[in-house]
């Protein structure tokens, strides 16, 4: 994943409202479960802080709806024991061994390792 994709993906995530929270979950789908958990818990913590200092009732309501979406995901994560779904990481020696194939299929990126 390039840095540009990562930056645009991050700006698309958030807790502004329910729709933004659902979009965040869609963007995170397929990523490592630990990464998903860390991003979602960070958003919940940040949202709670924003709720403490926000005075606009409409914004407060929208953020609460977003937090509820994230809390449902977190409840599912805990109930199903999803922490065990972590991706297995390949040893560096294995990745280095496949560099020749990556070059052959023109997939090799010099800065990857």
pLDDT of 100-109, one tens digit each?
888 899 888 8
Percent of the chain with pLDDT over 90: 59
Hunting for tokens 């109930």 — which residue is that? 79
Q: What is the mean pLDDT of residues 67-72?
A: 98
Q: What is the mean pLDDT of the chain?
A: 88
Residue 4 pLDDT exceeds 50: no
Residue 62 pLDDT exceeds 70: yes
Least confident of 3-12, 34-43, 63-72, 84-93: 3-12
- Per-residue pLDDT reduced to its tens digit, 80-96: 998 888 777 788 888 88
Residue 32 pLDDT exceeds 80: yes
At residue 85, what are phi and psi to the nearest 5 degrees? -90, 10
pLDDT at residue 107, as a whole number = 85
Hunting for tokens 């024991």 — which residue is that? 81
CA angle (98 as vertex; 92, 104 as ends), nearest 5: 150
Number of residues written out for the chain: 113
């Amino acid at each position: 994943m390039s840095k540009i994709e990562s930056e645009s993906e991050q700006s698309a995530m958030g807790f502004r409202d329910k729709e933004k929270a659902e979009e965040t979950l869609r963007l995170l789908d397929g990523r490592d479960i630990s990464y998903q958990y860390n991003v979602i818990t960070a958003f919940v913590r940040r949202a709670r802080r924003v709720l403490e200092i926000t005075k606009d009732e409409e914004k407060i309501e929208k953020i609460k709806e977003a937090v509820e979406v994230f809390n449902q995901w977190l409840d599912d994560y805990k109930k199903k024991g999803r922490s065990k779904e972590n991706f297995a990481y390949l040893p560096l020696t294995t990745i280095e061994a496949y560099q020749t194939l990556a070059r052959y299929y023109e997939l090799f990126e010099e800065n990857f390792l």
